[in-house]
Amino acid sequence: MKLKIKNALVSVFDKENIISLLKAFKKYNIKIISSGGTYDSIKKHGYECTELSKFTGFKEMLDGRVKTLHPKIHAGILHDRQNKSHKNEMSKQKFSSIDLIVVNFYPFQKVVSKSKSSKNIIENIDIGGPTMVRSAAKNFKNVAIITNKNDYGPLIKELEKYKGKTSLKFREIMSSKAFGLTAYYDAMIANWFNDKLKIQFPERKTIFGRKLKKLRYGENPHQESSIYVNDYNDRQLGFTQLHGKELSFNNYNDIFASLEILRSLKKKTGTVIIKHANPCGVSTNKKPIESFKNAYSCDPISAFGGVIACNYKVDKKIALEITKNFLEVILAKSFDKDSLNILKKKKNLRIIDISKYKTKNTSSFKNFDGSFLIQNKDNTILDSKRLKCVTKLKPSRKEMAQIEFAFNISKYVKSNAIVLCNNFSTIGIGAGQPSRLDSCKIAIQKAKKFLPKKIKNSVAASDAFFPFADGVTALIKSGVRIIVQPGGSIRDQEIINVANKAKVKMLFTGIRHFNH
* Cα distances (Å, whole numbers) of residue 492 to 330, 367, 459, 472, 497: 42, 35, 19, 11, 9
> If you average pLDDT over residues 450-472, what whole number do you get?
97
- Map out the domains of the chain with their CATH numbers: 3-196 (3.40.50.1380), 240-353 (3.40.140.20), 388-508 (3.40.140.20)
Of the listed ranges 39-43, 394-398, 399-403, the least confidently predicted one is 39-43
pLDDT digits 0-9 by tens, 259-299: 999 999 999 999 999 999 999 999 999 999 999 999 999 99
pTM across the whole model: 0.88
Note the pLDDT of residue 151: 93
Does the structure show a pLDDT above 70 at 63? Answer: no
> If you average pLDDT over residues 81-99, what whole number do you get?
83
Q: What φ, ψ does residue 262 adopt, rounded to 5°?
A: -60, -40
Averaged pLDDT score across all residues of the chain? 92
Note the pLDDT of residue 94: 79
Does the structure show a pLDDT above 80 at 69? Answer: no
Note the pLDDT of residue 508: 98
Note the pLDDT of residue 95: 83
Alpha-carbon distance 144 to 49, whole Å?
19
Alpha-carbon distance 10 to 132, whole Å?
11
| Helix, strand or coil, per DSSP, at residue 35 | coil
Note the pLDDT of residue 342: 96
pLDDT band at 115 (very low <50, low <70, confident <90, very high): confident
Note the pLDDT of residue 73: 83
| Helix, strand or coil, per DSSP, at residue 466 | coil
Note the pLDDT of residue 427: 98
pLDDT digits 0-9 by tens, 27-56: 999 999 988 888 889 999 988 888 888 887
pLDDT digits 0-9 by tens, 328-347: 999 999 999 999 999 999 99
What type of residue is 348?
N
DSSP state of 309: E
Q: Is 276 a catalytic residue?
A: yes
Which residues neighbour 375 within 8 Å (Cβ) at sequence distance 6 or greater?
A: 363, 364
Does the structure show a pLDDT above 90 at 120? Answer: no
Catalytic pick among 86, 138, 205, 317: 138
Closest by Cα among 496, 509, 288, 290 to 388:
509
Alpha-carbon distance 76 to 84, whole Å?
15
Alpha-carbon distance 22 to 482, whole Å?
74
Note the pLDDT of residue 293: 97
Of the listed ranges 196-205, 326-335, 359-368, 507-516, the least confidently predicted one is 359-368
pLDDT digits 0-9 by tens, 142-193: 999 999 999 999 999 999 999 999 999 999 999 999 999 999 999 999 999 9
> If you average pLDDT over residues 384-408, what whole number do you get?
95
Beta bridge partners of 309: 272, 331
Q: What percent of the chain has pLDDT over 70?
A: 98
Alpha-carbon distance 8 to 100, whole Å?
5
Alpha-carbon distance 125 to 108, whole Å?
6
Does the structure show a pLDDT above 90 at 367? Answer: no
Which tops the pLDDT comparison, 462 or 68? 462
Does the structure show a pLDDT above 90 at 140? Answer: yes
Note the pLDDT of residue 64: 65
Catalytic pick among 268, 276, 313, 316: 276
pLDDT digits 0-9 by tens, 347-361: 999 999 999 998 877
Note the pLDDT of residue 61: 64
Q: Is 86 a catalytic residue?
A: no
Does the structure show a pLDDT above 80 at 254? Answer: yes
Note the pLDDT of residue 53: 81
Does the structure show a pLDDT above 90 at 78? Answer: no
